[in-house]
Amino acid sequence: MIQHLVDGILVGSFLSLGAIGLTMAMHILRFANFSHAELLSIGAYCALVFDKVFESLLPVLAAKIGPLSMTGALAISIVLSMAITGLSAVLIDRFIFQRVRQKGEELSMVFASFGMALIIRNIIGLVFGLSAELYSGDIAFAMILSRDPLLLVKPDQVFVLIAALILMFALHLVLSRTTFGFSLRAVAENPSLAQVHGVNLKRMIAAVWIIGGGLGAVAGIFYGLSYQITPVMGRDLVLPIFAATIVGGIGSVYGAVLGGFIVGIASNLALVILPSGYSPSVPFLMILAVLLVRPNGLFGEARA
């Protein structure tokens, strides 16, 4: 039971990171982006490529940091991968979503995002093969936190949780303390009014994609560190991430953080009563439960 709770918190850390970007894009661009989870795959595979490149160029970097299976090479790769994933999110928006946005309306974008998800996921499969990959071939041994009740945690998971919390705190500072953060929130509230006040809408939209892509990349890499990297990881993550945004309330960054942890914990606790085969259904049950009890989520506000 406690083991499930701890696992849930660790899963929650990367679901939250994924959900933050999704909820921001859904709020500002007003569409449910079904291809958001593919940014996690792009990030994870980017880091995989850079990791291999750095390890072969500078063998020094291939050494592990402390008890982690993380290496210096991977640490640099994470930063590069964040940048590239953010950039690809901007490019996808520029070439696809923006053009669909001009022609149709919100729901056409949802269609387009489904199509993009299908394209990205399968191109990754074509390029990298359909089998699973790992950042490190070594087995990471779990630390025993307590024997009764038995509680196992991998060092990597602790790192993932702490790093995720630091990133979220950094984002919180940016959103609440900087002019940029205020402009972003102004655009989310009322795009035209924000423009009147001299906020550059295009730049803000690009910023949302960069933040969303960057955090998504980290989420994907952390998922890869905790489990494995597969071309279909986006398919498996899209529903839990959506559940996190709905539980938190669409548009609320803090809600997304909380929602991510709630969905992660709930999915793991559900294993106590449900056979593990049913765990993909749990996020859907959570969506239904939230819609029944509190349709706009924990922090969301009603908006047509």
110, 32 in Cβ contact below 8 A? yes
Rounded Cα distance, 178 and 203, in Å: 16
Q: Which is nearer to another protein, 99 or 203 (CB)?
A: 99
Q: Which is nearer to another protein, 132 or 291 (CB)?
A: 291
What's the min distance (Å) between Cβ of 173 and another protein? 29
Q: By 3-state DSSP, what share of the chain in percent is helix, strand and coil, each rounded to 5? A: 75, 5, 20
Q: Which is nearer to another protein, 80 or 96 (CB)?
A: 96
What's the min distance (Å) between Cβ of 189 and another protein? 16
Among residues 79, 76, 47, 48, the alpha carbon closest in space to that of 61 is found at 76
Query: What are the residues facing 10 on neighbouring strands?
Result: none
Q: Which is nearer to another protein, 38 or 51 (CB)?
A: 38
What's the min distance (Å) between Cβ of 97 and another protein? 10
Residue 144: DSSP 8-state: E
What's the min distance (Å) between Cβ of 280 and another protein? 5
Rounded Cα distance, 156 and 164, in Å: 12
Neighbours of 74 (CB within 10 A): 26
158, 9 in Cβ contact below 8 A? no
Rounded Cα distance, 62 and 46, in Å: 17
Q: Which residues are CB-contacts of 285 (< 8 A; sequence separation ≥ 6)?
A: none
Residues in contact with another protein by the rule CB under 8 A: 26, 31-32, 34, 96, 99-100, 103-108, 110-112, 114-119, 121-123, 125-126, 130, 235, 238-239, 242-243, 246, 250, 275, 277-278, 280-281, 283-285, 287-288, 291-292, 295-296, 303-304
Q: How far apart are the first and last CA of the chain?
A: 40
What's the min distance (Å) between Cβ of 247 and another protein? 12
What's the min distance (Å) between Cβ of 2 and another protein? 26
Rounded Cα distance, 68 and 210, in Å: 28
Q: Which is nearer to another protein, 119 or 134 (CB)?
A: 119
Q: Which is nearer to another protein, 75 or 110 (CB)?
A: 110
Q: Which is nearer to another protein, 72 or 115 (CB)?
A: 115
287, 246 in Cβ contact below 8 A? yes
What's the min distance (Å) between Cβ of 250 and another protein? 7
CA angle 112, 298, 288 (to 5 degrees): 60
